[in-house]
A and B are shown apart, each in its own frame.
With several copies, the nearest count.
Chain A
Amino acid sequence: PNGSDRRLTDEEFERYSRQMIVPGMGKHGQLRLINSSVLIIGAGGLGCPAAQYIAGAGIGTIGIVDGDVVEPSNLHRQVAHATSRIGMAKVDSLITHLRSLNPLPTYIAHPFHLTAQNGADILSRYDLILDCTDNPATRYLISDLCVLLQKPLVSAASVQTSGQLIVLNCPPSPQGVVDRPCAPCYRCCFRKPPPPSANLSCGEAGIMGPVVGMMGVAQAGEAIKILASALHLPQDARGASGASGASDAERHLTHPHLLIYSYDLASAIGPYTFRALRMGGRKRSCFACGEGSTLTLEGIRSGNPDYVQFCGGLAPPPHAGL
């Protein structure tokens, strides 16, 4: 928050020089990154690569949430962990790696799963949220908290040979506002979870490392873009730094695209390997962000809605982080 006009140190200039000379970044963009905070929920297949590039870029405060420990079967895709750290809390293992890559950011460990009880308190301390989790119940919880706390959310998911990514709630609008174009929340795009029988986890169904890796790196790319260009802030707070050519709607993500990645072990890259699917904006009828929504932080904390029941009655797996 403070220090947005401070000088960069010599160490910062040297370390960040190659991204600062990219047109559109500059010292201004770099200072915005340094003054930003990001919460990465999940230190698994998405969170590892996302965190590497977010830390590398110099985002000033980086929080990591995960309640799992490192296991051997994680390591083909969770490339910021290490064989010698098997059994260590994933949060601590990941921060160990990030600190050796870039000691300048402040790293905050939240070595437990995100819950309806602890969620609001944790998310409220950060500017932008990355959903790198692995189960529907936590995904709906995170989105609801982002609506109520007005946080932009970069959400990705991956199973087997497929990946998805979407930027939600960016820029954030107050809950219930529907008289102007507003960005959608997770529920606007994905109204109901699949039945538990149709929901595949990476543990049960498998995952190719580079597929989840692509989605994690892309999450970092969107987070850095949003914070460096202040796409999450109202136009007047962003100043005149935006490049020409992009419409305000494109910048503002009020009708975001869902990116889907289809990796095919038996075929080459083709025109349908990546597709960008046009989603709608905020829905008037959305349970979380729509007109007359009754969702509140107090309600969430006290168990209303019941995310586990909403997602089919199964509690999140004990080893929920991928």
Chain B
Amino acid sequence: MSAAKNNDTIDITVDFSGGLEMLFDNKRRYSVSLPAVDGSGKPVTMAFLIDHLCTHLMKDPRVDLFVLDKHIRPGILVLINDADWELEGEEAYELQPRDNILFVSTLHGG
């Protein structure tokens, strides 16, 4: 579907909410530039983004509050353009320019 060349980039915004922003330097919004294709020439996916966030943006050593066993930990909702990523293919979703990705931890207090 994507006709990206090897040195194209994709610019997206990534938001953190519900307390997750504390793991990312207390910033609620990041502009993120990703290569359009991964090392094997395939369009970059949500899985690629999550790995990128852990490697490059996360300041907090408690990675397991974001990722467990290489997947987003239970209790975090992932939204692609404000829709539950389960409606969009989850980790296999291929990122599009100007996508907004939101990670929000579910709350239980009251």
Contact = CB atoms under 8 A, between A and B. Distances in A.
B91 interface: no
Interface string B3-42: 0000000000001011101100111110000000000000
A245 B68 CA distance: 27
B107 A164 contact: yes
B58 interface: no
Given A277-B79, A277-B82, A202 B105 contact: no
Contact of A163 (B26, B29, B82, B107): B107
Contact of B104 (A45, A133, A205, A260): A260
A308 to B, nearest CB: 14
Given A194-B75, A195-B75, A280-B87, A272 B110 contact: no
Instruction: Identify which of B104, B109, B110 gathers the most chain A CB atoms within 10 Å of its CB.
Output: B110
B47 interface: no
Given A156-B110, A157-B108, A277 B84 contact: yes
Instruction: Identify which of A195, A271, A276 gathers the most chain B CB atoms within 10 Å of its CB.
Output: A195
B109 A202 contact: yes
B97 interface: no
A25 to B, nearest CB: 14
A134 B86 CA distance: 26
A272 B59 CA distance: 23
Contacts of B49: none
Interface string B64-96: 010010000111110100111011000000000
Nearest to A191: B74
Interface residues on A, range: 35 or more
Contacts of A215: 110
B75 A199 contact: yes
Contacts of B26: 23, 243-245
B2 interface: no
Interface residues on B, range: 20 to 34
Contact of B106 (A190, A275, A280): A190
A97 B67 CA distance: 45
Nearest to B108: A136
Contacts of B77: 190, 258, 277
A280 B18 CA distance: 20
Nearest to A201: B109
Interface string A243-286: 11100000000000010101010000001100111111000000
Interface of A: 23, 42, 44-47, 131-136, 139, 156-160, 162-164, 189-195, 197-202, 205, 207, 212, 215, 243-245, 258, 260, 262, 264, 271-272, 275-280, 322
24 contacts: A132-B110, A133-B108, A158-B107, A158-B110, A160-B19, A162-B18, A162-B107, A164-B104, A194-B74, A194-B75, A194-B105, A197-B65, A200-B19, A202-B110, A207-B109, A212-B109, A244-B27, A245-B21, A245-B25, A245-B26, A264-B28, A272-B28, A275-B102, A278-B87
